[in-house]
Amino acid sequence: MRNLITIYSRPGCHLCDVAEDVLIGLQGELDFDMEQISIVGDPELELKYGEEIPVIMIDGQRHAFYRIDPERFKASLAKHRQRQ
């Protein structure tokens, strides 16, 4: 089963673009699916994530916000896969 990485973001967010680029760079090596969800227009998501975007989730579990560290992401994904 492939893991799903979700990025909660908003248009025009530079840190969101950087996080997406980092994840795209890791996607071929680590074999995961990725989706980006805009929080714009969703009051619940704006309240939950508005101050911390981008928020990166691994299979629905919060991994990081603001910035993504590639080595930390690799380690977290490996640990997550061990638990599956």
| pLDDT averages per 10-residue partition of the chain, 84 residues | 94 96 96 96 95 96 95 95 87
Per CATH, domain 3-69 is 3.40.30.10: yes
DSSP per-residue letters across 15-26: HHHHHHHHHHHH
Q: Which of 52, 44, 47, 43 is nearest to 9 (CA)?
A: 52
Chain position carrying tokens 């908003």: 10
Q: Which of 49, 46, 56, 45 is nearest to 19 (CA)?
A: 56
**Beta strands 61-65 and 32-38: pairing type?**
unpaired
Question: Domain spans of the chain?
Answer: 3-69
Contact indicator for 30, 77 with CB cutoff of 8 Å: yes
How long a stretch of residues is the chain? 84
